[in-house]
Structure 1
């Protein structure tokens, strides 16, 4: 592929990703939630079960410190309860009644909007989109892995 085409496609891709990110940032702001708190509530509601702090970090691709700060704030606000597990290093995150109501008024609506958007795709379009997005992400992961290896060699 020509360099000009690659540059154009990369720009288009980055624009779409940033627009998508802005949609979520905008809806979190409209609901009066910091991004991280929004994604914590989202992860808990999407999973439909209790998650540990580590599982939330993994689901959000965020550092433990960032997630922990937001969890502490949600706990102070009475939206979640953190309970120690057997190993005492891990904690489970439980929504309180207040947290459930907050999720119902916020992230549940976003999840519903996402379902409506996905329903607008045919099965074939969805499968193609996911297949190509997974493929691109895998190729990018390999390319960045190579970049990091070269960086470590310096």
Structure 2
């Protein structure tokens, strides 16, 4: 039986991320721009702060990527009617062409791979990762208290 170390899970997650990275590189977009498009088209993000949360990008990095995508004509930015200080992102036809080629197929691949798991495997995966996440957050609390002003 394989020795169960966290590094095994970590390496597995990184190897999955490398598939996403290869798709991003094949798209021809810089990483930050690709992940903004991914967040907008796949996750339904409409605001920069949502993109930052879903991609772990800094506000500055996300803002620069958004500006570049607006310049390319793939996104538009409008002042939100609910909050005049917030800018809302909208998709364009040009952006949709890109998304159909490099974003939506990723979601289809994820769903196909997920569908190959049994209902028990799906439930176990979610249960185990939820528990691990809770334990990780608990263990991180002292460190976060130490480094947060």
- TM interval, shorter chain, is 0.7 to 0.9
**Alignment length (residue pairs):** 146
- How far did residue 132 of structure 1 move? 0.6
Relative to the length of structure 1, the TM-score reads: 0.85
Q: Which runs of 5+ in 2 are unaligned?
A: none
Q: Deviations over 1:101-152 (max 9, x none)?
A: 0100111111111111111111111111011111111211111112222456
Maintained 8 Å contact 1:54/1:90: no
Correspondence list, 1:137-148, <5 A: 137-148=133-144
Scaled by the length of structure 2, the TM-score of the pair is: 0.88
Task: Please state how far the C-alpha of 1:50 moved relative to its aligned partner.
Answer: 6.2
Give the structure 2 partner of residue 119 of structure 1.
Answer: 115
Q: CA deviation at 1:37?
A: 1.9
**1:58 counterpart residue number:** 53
Contact 1:79 1:96 in 2 (8 A): yes
Structure 1 stretches lacking a partner, 5+ long: none
State the superposition RMSD in angstroms.
Answer: 1.9
